[in-house]
Structure 1
C-alpha cells in the first residue's frame, strides 16, 4: 500500500514538471531569458522534488512571533511534515492573503521569492492563506487510482467511475490546493472564513494554552460533515522530530476536536473529490477534480 501511495504521488510530480516545461516554452524568445532568471529556483525545485510529494502546506519560520519582525513562510510540498520548499510563482498561485481581526489583506509576492511569503503579524492571531491554480495529472494505472481513493477515504469512487462510463486507463484529475497557516503573536484573536472553496477554520486559538483544538471543515461555505481529516504533529524543538499521524472524522457540524500538547506543530489535511465542476476542470477535460484543504499551527511551550 505504501509503495502504491508513493507512486500515485510520483504521478503528481511528473504532471507538475510537464506543466512547468510547457509554461517555459510558451514564453517569447525576448522575455524567456529574463523570466527564466526569475523562475529558475522553481525549476530546480521541480527537478529535485521527491517522489513522495503530496500535501502542500505553509510553514512559518516562527509560528509564534514574539517581536515586530516580519515572519517568513515557506510553501512546502511533501509528506509527513517533510517536503521541498517552493518559490513564489505567479502562474501557480490564484490568491494569497492575510487576515487579522476580520480584516483581509491581499498578498502579492515576487517571482522567485524563497521563502515565498513574508508577513508582519499583528497582535493576537494572524491567518495566512495560499490558494493555487489548477494542476492536472494522469494516473499511471487503475490500481494507483484506487489506492488514492482508498487513502483519502472515498469509498464510492469505483462505482461512480464505472457508472459514468469512464475508462480505467489514463485516469485524469485536476487538483487545487487551499492552504492556511495560523501565526499567534499573543493569546486571543480568531480565525475566519477566508473565502476559499474548501478550508479549515480554527474555532479555538492555538496560543490560548488549551489542551484541545477545535476546527471546522467547510466546502463551498457550508460545514462538511463525516469527512476524513488527517492530522500530523511534531515537536518544534527537536532537530529531527518524529512525526505522528492521526485519522479523525468531522461531526454533523463539520467539526473535529482533538488534544494538543505544548510546543508542537500540527498539520491538518482533507480532500474533496468531485466530478469536474469548475470552468478550468471542464475546459481541461479531466475525469475528476480534487480540492485539498490544509491547516498548520503551533502550540506554545509552557
Structure 2
C-alpha cells in the first residue's frame, strides 16, 4: 500500500540545500476555469515560497506545448509561447469549451553538478533511493554528482460551464506520453475522501517514487508527501479549495562514458478546486 513518508521534515530540510534543478516546475494558467474561447494567460513557474519565480527557460528547449481534449482533439500552443520572466505572461491562448489538459515538455539540455554531500542530500530529499544505492555500490557516494534533466508538466483546464465530469475523469486518468507522468484516478472536484494518484515511468507503474502535494497559495513547503506502492499508486487525503500541485522526480543512470552520471525527469500536474465545487 502507498504510505506517508517518514522523517518528511528532515527530507524537506535537506531539499533546501538541493540544487536549483530540484525546484518544482509547473505551468500555471490564469484562470483554470475560463469561459469558452476566453483569453487564458499562462506563466511558467519554478520554486516554492521565497524561492518561487518565473522560469527563465529558453523557448528552444521546449519541445512540446499543446492542449489535449478527452475526445482526442489537439491544439498546438507552442506558437503562442514566448517565455520571458520580464513580460507579464509567457503565453496567451484560447480553446473551445470542455475539459483540456495542457502538456509541456522540455529537452534534457540542462545540467547540474554538485559536491557529494549536497548531491546525496538532494537524492534523499527527492526520494531517489536507487541512485543513492548505485552511488554507494560503485563507491562514488563521496564523489561529485552530476545529472542532466528535463521538465514535464500538465495542467487541467475546465473551459466554459457544464463541463461533464466524465470528460474530466477521462483526461486525468489517461496518459499523454510523458516519460514520467502523474495521473489521477478521481476528479478532485468530486471531493471524495481520498485523492488517488498513479505514477508511470516509461508507460509502466513506478514503485517507490516520492509524490508531493503542495497548495500553491501557501507553497513554502509541500502539504504532504507519499511514496508509490508496487503498482505505482499513492493516496492523499482529499484537498480542499485552492490551486494544487502534484510533483514527482525520477532518474536513471547513464553509461560510464557519458558526460554526466544520471538523466533526471521532473514531472508535475496542477489543478484548481473551487470554493463551491459540485458534489
TM-score bucket of the superposed structures, by smaller chain: 0.7 to 0.9
What SS does the aligned partner of 2:16 have?
A: helix
Say if 2:188 and 2:273, in contact at 8 Å, map to a contact too.
Answer: yes
TM-score by length of 2: 0.78
**Mapped partners of 1:255, 1:264: distance in 2:** 23
Deviation at 1:145, TM superposition (A): 1.0
Partner deviation per Cα, 1:30-75 (whole Å, 9 max, x = no partner) = xxxxxxxxxxxxxxxxxxxxxxx71101111111224431212211
2:180 pairs with 194, 198, 208, which one?
198
1:130 aligned to 94, 100, 104, which one? 104
Structure (1/2) with the larger helix percentage? 1
Question: RCO (CA 8 Å, sep 6+): is it higher in 1 or 2?
Answer: 2
Any residues of structure 2 matched to 1:56-205 within 5 Å, and which?
Answer: 56-80=25-49, 83-86=52-55, 89-101=58-70, 102-108=72-78, 109-112=80-83, 114=87, 115-134=89-108, 135-139=110-114, 141-164=115-138, 166=140, 168-185=142-159, 186-188=163-165, 189=167, 190-191=170-171, 192-205=174-187
Deviation at 1:287, TM superposition (A): 0.8
Give the RMSD, CA atoms, in angstroms. 2.9
Shift of 1:77: 0.9
Shift of 1:285: 1.2
Residue 268 of structure 1 and its aligned partner are, at CA, apart by: 0.8
Contact 2:29–2:42 (CA under 8 A) maintained in structure 1: yes
Cα distance in 1 between the residues matched to 2:187 and 2:95: 15
1:200 deviates by 0.9
Q: Which residue of 2 aligns with 1:28?
A: none
Aligned counterparts of 1:120 and 1:211: Cα–Cα separation in 2? 33
Runs (5+) with no aligned partner, structure 2: 1-9
Note if 1:251 corresponds to 2:251: no
**Pairing 1:222–2:204 present:** yes
1:228-287 Cα deviation digits (max 9, x unpaired): 21111255xxxx78765201122333223323344211111111121027xxxx886111
Structure 2 equivalent of residue 44 of structure 1: none
User: Residue 212 of structure 2 contacts residue 222 of structure 2 at CA under 8 Å; is this kept in 1?
Assistant: no
Question: What is the CA distance between 1:180 and its match in structure 2?
Answer: 0.8
Q: What 5-or-longer segments of structure 1 have no aligned partner?
A: 13-52
